[in-house]
Amino acid sequence: MATLKFLSFIVVQLFLVAYNCEGVEVGFYTKTCPNVEAIVKETTKHYISVAPTLAAPLLRMHFHDCFVRGCDGSVLLNSTKGNKAEKDAIPNQSLRGFQVIDAAKSALEKECPGIVSCSDILALAARDAVSLINGPSWPVPLGRRDGRVSILSEASKKLPTPFDNFTTLKTTFGALGLTVKDLVVLSGGHTIGMSHCFSFSSRMYNFTGKGDMDPNMDQNYISHLKIKCKPGDVTTIVEMDPGSFKSFDTDYYTMVSKRRGLFASDAALLTNRQTKDYVLSQLNPHGSTFFKDFGESMVKMGKIGVLTGKAGEIRKHCAFRN
């Protein structure tokens, strides 16, 4: 029995090592492509300056990449005749900004062909998008290689949803080696971006299947949202952090503390003592640790399941395997 417990412990440890691989490093391309960060940042800046709302989708794209098969660029692959890819899964159908990654890849292929992976470009673009809208910046460890597999059903099963409660969220994040603190910190990414009404309509119109409202959501806020979001609305989008959805800040935590987070998964942060304490600790912008914490959690997330060495490939075009 003791031997079985020990073997189980070893398996768990190997799993977490695999999902938090240290095979990436800051400055990985110093000799092979020294201008990589400048090129990606300039490309991202060009697009964000024209359309600041692209910042949120780029950040979300990196999240969705890392949560399925690790940060291997699998979310960027197109479906083929014989395979439906992650990109076509329902949670990913609203992703935007693929043209930013493609443009950066094109520029890098001219500068240093066959060197920089699409997964590294995505990690850099997500960081740059956040920093360009007044958010934090952080050093991005590089050296990821691109995966060759992308399966729609895996994205449908493995991505966190707006409907998740705390227990489900903790399990999903924990399976990838992320802590409860990482969960509440990375949820702060909801400070930017928009959401379709259908992602939270049940909280307004049919919370328990009896045509009722979610008692955990501010009732005045529900009345306000109902003006924009009618029953069955599948097209309207609303700001996730009203008034500052184009600016990366701590306002998300203020909204959550007032029970005005859009998603059930936002409200879930108030149902656990550790995450609730974190939400409340960020309300004073001068004492907030959010920017520092967000950078640290993004670095940690960016190491999930990375392919390094001779694993995977360096794609020539990010939407296609070589």
Distances (CA, A) of 196 to 91, 179, 228, 238, 263: 11, 28, 11, 6, 11
Where in the chain do CATH 1.10.420.10 domains reside?
Answer: 159-300
Q: Residue 248: is its pLDDT beyond 70?
A: yes
214 labeled part of a ligand binding site: no
| Residues 239 and 250: beta-carbon distance below 8 Å | no
Average pLDDT over residues 307-315: 97
Mean model confidence pLDDT for the chain: 92
Going from the C-alpha of 100 to that of each of 28, 167, 229, 303, the distances in angstroms are 22, 35, 31, 22
Cβ distance 203 to 209 under 8 Å?
Answer: no
Residue 64: half-sphere exposure toward Cβ, Cα within 13 Å: 30
154 pLDDT higher than 50: yes
pLDDT of residue 285: 73
Distance CA 164, CA 215 (A): 16
> What pLDDT score was predicted for residue 222?
96
Residue 241 is assigned to a ligand binding site: yes
Asked whether the predicted pLDDT for residue 2 surpasses 60, the reply is: no
Q: How high is the pLDDT of residue 19?
A: 41
Fold topology of 33-155: Peroxidase; domain 1 (1.10.520)
* Distances from the Cα of 55 to the Cα of 59, 246, 290, angstroms: 6, 8, 18
Average of per-residue pLDDT across 270-281: 98
- Helix spans in 229-272 (H): 251-257, 264-267
**Burial group, residue 207, by CB count within 10 angstroms (0-12, 13-18, 19+):** middle
Q: 3-state SS of 144-182?
A: CEECCCCCHHHHHHHCCCCCCCHHHHHHHHHCCCCCHHH
Q: Tell me what pLDDT residue 296 has.
A: 98
Judge whether residue 1 has pLDDT over 80. Answer: no
CATH 1.10.520.10 residue ranges in the chain? 33-155
What's the average model confidence in pLDDT over 70-99? 96
Q: What is the pLDDT of residue 22?
A: 54
Architecture of the domain whose range is 159-300:
Orthogonal Bundle (1.10)
72 marked as part of a ligand binding site: yes
Against a cut of 0.85, is the pTM above it? yes
CA-to-CA distance for 142 and 123, rounded, in angstroms?
Answer: 8
Question: In this model, does residue 51 exceed pLDDT 80?
Answer: yes
Residue-wise DSSP of 52-76 = GGGHHHHHHHHHHHHTTTSSSSGGG
Q: Which of 134, 148, 154 is nearest to 241 (CA)?
A: 134
Torsion on CA atoms 161, 167, 169, 174, rounded to nearest 10:
-150
- 249 labelled binding-site residue: yes
224 is catalytic: no
What's the token pair of residue 160? 């966190």
Catalytic residue among 46, 62, 64, 317: 64
Q: What value does the CA radius of gyration of the chain take, rounded to a whole number of Å?
A: 20
Residue with the two structure tokens 């910190």: 185
299 is in an annotated binding site: no
**Between the CA of residue 321 and those of 78, 125, 184, 285, 315, what are the distances in Å?**
9, 21, 35, 45, 6
Are the CB atoms for 188 and 294 separated by under 8 Å?
A: yes
Residue with tokens 């409200």: 267
